[in-house]
């Protein structure tokens, strides 16, 4: 079915550029849509740390209503910009992660047994698939003692640039600066422009 050729969305600032680039890695057709199943990966590649439930939210909010199963950049871009400015899906700090591990380590031994950890990860929270768990065990598990020494493991997971949030902050700052600099009578129209997604 013939669709009118849609003009390519142009980024207006660094934040949009970053989001568009992450999006395009998964856009195989070149038509500025991605499969819904890739959204989680896209979000995480930007540096966000959403839960599975949050990903579902994003999908619901941005999915193409006529042809479900894909998400157009047209919906995704404004949603994400807003989310980044609001610091949603912000990754918890290493301390929080450590606290979470420690919570399960009742005797404070500094490690968790494989059985306990498997039971937790496969049954609690938003459970891992067996594949995800096996993959994690390859790096997390100490094969000699069959335990997970989580303090060392956390360091491995620690590649956490919060770039996208910093960029979002700057973009927001810039926008506020421009707004503040504008004379009062124009504020309404610029407000309209800002909310016009």
Chain residues in the site for other proteins (CB under 8 A):
14, 17-18, 21-22, 24-26, 28-31, 40-41, 43-45, 48-54, 57, 86-104, 108, 110, 120-121, 124-128, 132, 135-136, 138-139, 151-152, 154-155, 157-159, 165, 169
Three-state DSSP class for residue 51 = coil
Long-range contacts of 59-63 (CB under 8 A, 24+ apart): 63/36
Three-state DSSP class for residue 27 = coil
Could you tell me the smallest distance in angstroms from the CB atom of residue 153 to other proteins? 10
List C-alpha distances in Å: 105 to 46, 98, 100, 122, 150: 31, 10, 9, 17, 10
The pair of structure tokens assigned to 116 is 């306990």
Backbone angles phi, psi at 141, to 5 degrees: -85, 135
CB 47 within 8 A of CB 163: yes
- For 50-166, strand residue ranges (E) read 70-72, 112-113, 141-142, 147-148
Could you tell me the smallest distance in angstroms from the CB atom of residue 120 to other proteins? 6
Residue recorded with tokens 């039971």: 119
Could you tell me the smallest distance in angstroms from the CB atom of residue 16 to other proteins? 11
């Amino acid at each position: 079915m013939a669709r009118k050729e849609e003009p390519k969305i142009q980024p207006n600032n660094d934040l949009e550029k970053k989001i568009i680039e992450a999006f395009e890695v998964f856009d195989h057709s070149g038509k500025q849509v991605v499969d819904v199943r890739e959204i989680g990966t896209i979000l995480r590649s930007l540096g966000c740390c959403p839960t599975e439930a949050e990903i579902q939210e994003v999908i619901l909010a941005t999915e193409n209503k006529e042809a479900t199963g894909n998400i157009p950049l047209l919906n995704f871009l404004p949603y994400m910009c807003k989310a980044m400015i609001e610091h949603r899906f912000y990754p918890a700090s290493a301390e929080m992660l450590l606290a979470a591990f420690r919570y399960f380590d009742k005797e404070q031994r500094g490690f968790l047994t494989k059985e306990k950890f498997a039971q937790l990860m496969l049954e609690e929270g938003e459970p891992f698939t067996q594949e995800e768990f096996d993959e994690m065990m390859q790096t997390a598990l100490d094969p000699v003692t069959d335990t997970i020494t989580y303090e060392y493991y956390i360091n491995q997971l620690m590649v956490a640039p919060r770039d996208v949030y910093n960029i979002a902050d700057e973009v927001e700052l810039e926008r506020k600066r421009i707004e503040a600099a504008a004379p009062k009578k124009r504020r309404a129209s610029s407000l309209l422009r800002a909310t016009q997604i």
